[in-house]
Chains A and B, each alone.
Chain A
């Protein structure tokens, strides 16, 4: 997860309002720095970073909600929606990765220790990193899924992948619409008035 950018040019003795504008601008830039990844639905990690950046912007707008009250509320609503769309996408990514990991390890009769080996963790980290204790629970050979359960898990993966495509489309359409409306410019103009 990308860290929040530090904001060096703040003056702690200046008004809260003046500093709020600088912070909001930084968080807005941070969100748009991930713009290049939105056209590729396979950029799982970058889309997740975009989601975190949107969340930071939303909480920052909330933090300074008395600044430009009405405009702030409507812009915040858009950011909140982006965050929710990306949140749903991320939930699907996590679940799909968990299911794939579970099914692939069972296929190759991989042991619990193997699953926690650096190689597999590296593989999974490329997309989603799981807590080692969660891996242990999922990959415990004593409770491996039966053939019928495995079939069900496969069905679930297919279902979730289809759902993920729809979620991505919904997000992408919304993001594109905001770009057409020059959402970034709207926020900057609000802060400059």
Chain B
């Protein structure tokens, strides 16, 4: 049932890299956008490591959703629809994650499958084309996300084929591009992987127009506008523009690019992967340019709601089934293990990076001071990180390595002091049942009391240390020490 009148609604998209909101006055075929906002959380970072959304990422997401809900309420938007995609689909603790969001924000988040994601993205990225002349009969839409990529083909603005490719810009970054800037060797490995991978896409005749949506595509356009003076109304990137963006992104460190072109450092790192993926696709399908759309899945959700009301999600799912039945169209391409063997240096970068993330995942839980196991888990993670640093020390620049090692050791020491005290207190507690003598009970309680007093002091030290612990600064130091050493070895 189509909505008869325009209506202000909001849609939130919890993606693998970014969370976005759009508030708009909605009609089934058009939107009058009133407000948009976005924040980069990189949920996929923790999911890529152990399959779970970390407490830190959960809390960041909830804080952002509160903010976006308030923005929607400023415009009296109703309903506020929320969807989540690849990283959340893959997370083993997604139910718990969605329950926390529901409890703390009142928002019901729908996890949508790749098929529905493709369909909604297509609606959002192409609805404006209906008012344009000269649009080719056949078009393609690519939504490059952090955890996956949707590729959709359409004829006369009706989807005829789509595929979900289980690699995204975050995925490529976390595996191949961890140095800052990445070395020529890393770039070559990532390009070789992408080339092999994208060869697996068999499309007889690729449409002449490719529309790209998603954070990486839009940020590349922004970078090209700011760095090379492309007019802001210009929404097309040529292969030459992309090659220039690639040159810039791989020539300078993240902080320089971020400062010069007012981009978030996290976004700059991901963009390096984004530009490689887009270039690989253009090369594979012999295209010279692509058009960028700022709209995507969120706008698609609003259009679907305006068209089908409460049944918007079922309608989108039904559309994907209709396409599949008609054309046997749906394919999912999973990432394959590349034949290119990982060198010691590459394995070291990946492992250390993952372990820093894993240690940091416990940061907020330790600060909450609700469960002594959080201190234990973070300490174990810090030990594993130190073991990786010891093993992979030769791939690092010695001076930069010292800085990183000192920082990790300090964290491990502070955690260790707190954890050792927790263990002593717990052991004494167990003794209370084994030693019933009155004197023993009195002595044990005295010692427990003293240790508890010391533990409280340690908690303050731990909190002060962790509050000042800058994860991004540590990652930057790591990136520096990898890069410098690789250059030193003549491969930079």
Interface segment, one of A7-15, A68-76, A116-124, A166-174: A7-15
The distance from the CB of A119 to the nearest CB of chain B, in whole angstroms, is 23
Q: Do B343 and A152 touch (CB < 8 A)?
A: no
Q: Which residue, B344, B347, B449, has most C-beta atoms of chain A within 10 A?
A: B344
| Bound form: Cα–Cα A9–B150 in Å | 46
For chain A residues 42-62, which have a beta carbon within 8 Å of chain B?
55-56, 59-60, 62
Q: Which residue, A60, A91, A99, A131, has most C-beta atoms of chain B within 10 A?
A: A131
The 8 closest A-B pairs by CB, nearest first: A152-B443, A59-B387, A16-B347, A151-B439, A152-B439, A153-B443, A137-B454, A149-B446
What residues of chain A lie closer than 8 Å to B394, measured between beta carbons? 7-8, 10, 12
Q: Check A134 for interface membership: any CB of B closer than 8 A.
A: yes
Partner of B454, one of A15, A133, A153: A133
Q: Nearest CB to that of A155 among chain B residues?
A: B440
Q: Nearest CB to that of A55 among chain B residues?
A: B383
- Name 6 extra pairs, CB < 8 A, besides A4-B390, A7-B393: A12-B489, A15-B341, A15-B343, A137-B454, A152-B440, A159-B435
Q: Do B417 and A131 touch (CB < 8 A)?
A: yes
Q: Check B187 for interface membership: any CB of A closer than 8 A.
A: no
Q: Do B447 and A99 touch (CB < 8 A)?
A: yes
Interface segment, one of A31-39, A138-146, A176-184, A185-193: A138-146
Partner of A63, one of B388, B393, B420, B423: B388
Known: A12-B344, A13-B489. A150 touches B387 (CB 8 A): no
Q: Do B344 and A19 touch (CB < 8 A)?
A: yes
Q: Do A16 and B442 touch (CB < 8 A)?
A: no
| Bound form: Cα–Cα A56–B450 in Å | 32
Binary contact track B423-450/A, C-beta < 8 Å → 1, others 0: 1100100010001011111111111011
Q: Do B388 and A155 touch (CB < 8 A)?
A: no
| Bound form: Cα–Cα A152–B450 in Å | 15
Q: Check A156 for interface membership: any CB of B closer than 8 A.
A: yes
What residues of chain A lie closer than 8 Å to B421, measured between beta carbons? 134
The distance from the CB of B52 to the nearest CB of chain A, in whole angstroms, is 19
Partner of A134, one of B393, B446, B454: B454
Known: A13-B345, A13-B491, A143-B450. A148 touches B390 (CB 8 A): no
Binary contact track B385-401/A, C-beta < 8 Å → 1, others 0: 00110110111000000
The distance from the CB of A117 to the nearest CB of chain B, in whole angstroms, is 20
What residues of chain A lie closer than 8 Å to B449, measured between beta carbons? 143
Q: Nearest CB to that of B417 among chain A residues?
A: A131
What residues of chain B lie closer than 8 Å to A12, measured between beta carbons? 343-345, 348, 394-395, 485, 489
Q: Nearest CB to that of B355 among chain A residues?
A: A63
Partner of B444, one of A131, A138, A146, A156: A156
What residues of chain B lie closer than 8 Å to A134, measured between beta carbons? 421, 454
Partner of B344, one of A11, A60, A146: A11
What residues of chain B lie closer than 8 Å to A55, measured between beta carbons? 383
Q: Check A28 for interface membership: any CB of B closer than 8 A.
A: no
